[in-house]
Structure 1
């Protein structure tokens, strides 16, 4: 049987990864470079071109039918542009057009990174078999995506499901996005760490003041560290419950660095969820850790490319 092959790009502020991925979600070849995030837009595109160059040099490149891109956002899939917060050289940057040109005119699908991870978890991971799901990434920021009615729901611009910027504290801290009390402002890794330090937690001799260090302190019984995770869990629970109430999801999948804290996060999250997800149709909501790991962005970008190919085939294009 002929297996579809697509190219995938996962673009973030730290790294630009690329892969050739088959129709079963297997990565056959990968390439990666550091993102020159502080350079001008064309320099960043040069790094993307370098990754694509490694893929196009593969003997299997000729089989690639499409390209999928999962990018840090905001993205605008309808315009084919990206404006990643942490890549200042790209503002309304015509990434789809540039990638199409660099790959000999292949069809290109663009989605936000949260939506890409959602596509991966639904195709191959923890949300597999679920028709209505929310998948979240809790790390430096908080992103997410939705599966509704068995299909990825990226929305018109590719940003739907961006749960990090639901406000869960009306009079809360100002968020860099311009709103107040956003989930991200309370639950992201840097904000968990910041809150712990503000309330008197001190890093150990190694000076590590990351959320991972706060998690380790919480496991060791530090009440201030545990309280910072409990507050993050409460914010996540409120955001998840709001989403479930709005669109009826039955599973929430949580990945990203902060989810690696395990039960330090998940135990208070499940408890808090019973306080917020109270209506009969959301009471059965499951919360589980993500399964796809660091390749989720690439696998999800590939899923978007394959879906695009399917759509064109059905339309007879």
Structure 2
């Protein structure tokens, strides 16, 4: 959907995606084009603040800064969209960090909108991904990676909630007597289905690999502990999906993130678990698919937060 401005130039916004282990940013046009994109690993910097400045600087150095009309930010949560602050569970150095203000200082005078990373992933898929081509009135997007995030698009509108945390599905308790979660609760979806927690569980049960990618590779080869780790994750995610489906009458669930990149070793047991546990007819109709946009879904959704009125929101 092209959206020219009064001078005939394509409108451009800056999109920023804050994850638990990487930060990404891009210049995004109103038709979903992404002429400039940058990504940095958080581990390469002394602080998250430095990583933020670097990734934004890499993009703004390669575009006409005066042509950037606004900034959309998707961040791991929890967050406070009213204050523009974030407290990502997996970034201990950021507690009530004024993220919107920090980015605004880099590009003064532009509107800035902040939403959860899962929310932006859902919005990106609804706008330019799989859900765009599959009519869906109620979409849940899930990011399964270092943490587990989520977001909702209902009747074409992102539902953020009063504080911006609606759809924060990673902190639904699926095992109230389970492992403690950094959020302060116990047995959250994230304690079972995030990449680091899957690896931790697998090592405790005899697996000797290094990370979630190795765990997925071994699961594909039939390693029994690796397969059990993915089945446990699938069961936890299915419980959360069906809970959300019962509340919001979902049409479609789109799952992205590093763990989702494992492919069939996650999605086969996940779909079986959703189908096997869905009782009511409206729950059985929920579709569960991997993201069609990969790592760009969150950036596109963040951009959609601030695109002009002829865009999705």
Quickly name the TM-score band, shorter chain normalised: 0.7 to 0.9
Structure 2 distance, partners of 1:255, 1:141, is 12
Could you tell me which residue of structure 2 aligns to residue 18 of structure 1? 25
Secondary structure of the corresponding residue to residue 84 of structure 1 = coil
Q: Secondary structure, in 3 states, of the residue corresponding to 1:66?
A: strand
2:124 aligned with 1:120: yes
Call closer, same or farther: CA 1:139–1:95 in 2, change over 3 Å: closer
**Deviates further, 239-248 or 57-66:** 57-66
Distance 1:37 1:96, change over 3 A: farther
Q: Which runs of 5+ in 2 are unaligned?
A: 5-9
TM-score, normalised by the number of residues in structure 1: 0.87
Find out whether 1:9 has 2:10 as its counterpart: no
Q: Equivalent residues in 2 for 1:200-239 (5 A)?
A: 200=206, 202-203=207-208, 208-239=209-240
Does the aligned pair in 2 maintain the 1:13–1:37 contact within 8 Å? no
Q: Secondary structure at the match of 1:18?
A: strand
Deviation at residue 278 of structure 1 after TM alignment: 1.1
Other structure's SS at 1:135 match? strand
Q: TM-score, normalised by structure 2?
A: 0.88
Say if 1:55 and 1:61, in contact at 8 Å, map to a contact too. no
The offset of 1:81, in angstroms, is: 1.2
Aligned to 1:137: 143
Do the aligned partners of 2:16 and 2:74 also contact (CA within 8 Å) in 1?
yes
Q: Give the secondary-structure state (helix, strand or coil) at the position aligned to 2:196.
A: helix
Hey, what's the Cα distance between the residues in 2 that align with 1:273 and 1:241?
7
Larger radius of gyration: 1
Distance in 2, matches of 1:295 and 1:70, equals: 12
Check the 8 A contact 2:26/2:36 in 1, yes or no: yes
List gaps (5 residues or longer) in structure 1.
none
How many residues of Structure 1 are paired with residues of Structure 2 in the alignment? 302
Which residue of structure 2 aligns with residue 287 of structure 1? 288
Counterpart contact for 1:134–1:249, Cα < 8 Å: yes
**Pairwise mapping of residues 144-293 of structure 1 onto structure 2 (< 5 A)?**
144-200=150-206, 202-203=207-208, 208-293=209-294
Pairing 1:88–2:87 present: no
CA contact (8 A) 2:45 2:51 kept: no
The change in CA–CA distance for 1:246 and 1:57 in structure 2 (over 3 A counts) is: same
Root-mean-square deviation over aligned CA pairs: 2.3
Distance in 1 (alpha carbons) for counterparts of 2:172 and 2:222:
31
- Post-superposition offset of 1:141: 1.1
> In structure 2, do the counterparts of structure 1 residues 101 and 175 end up closer, same or farther at CA, with 3 Å as the change threshold?
closer
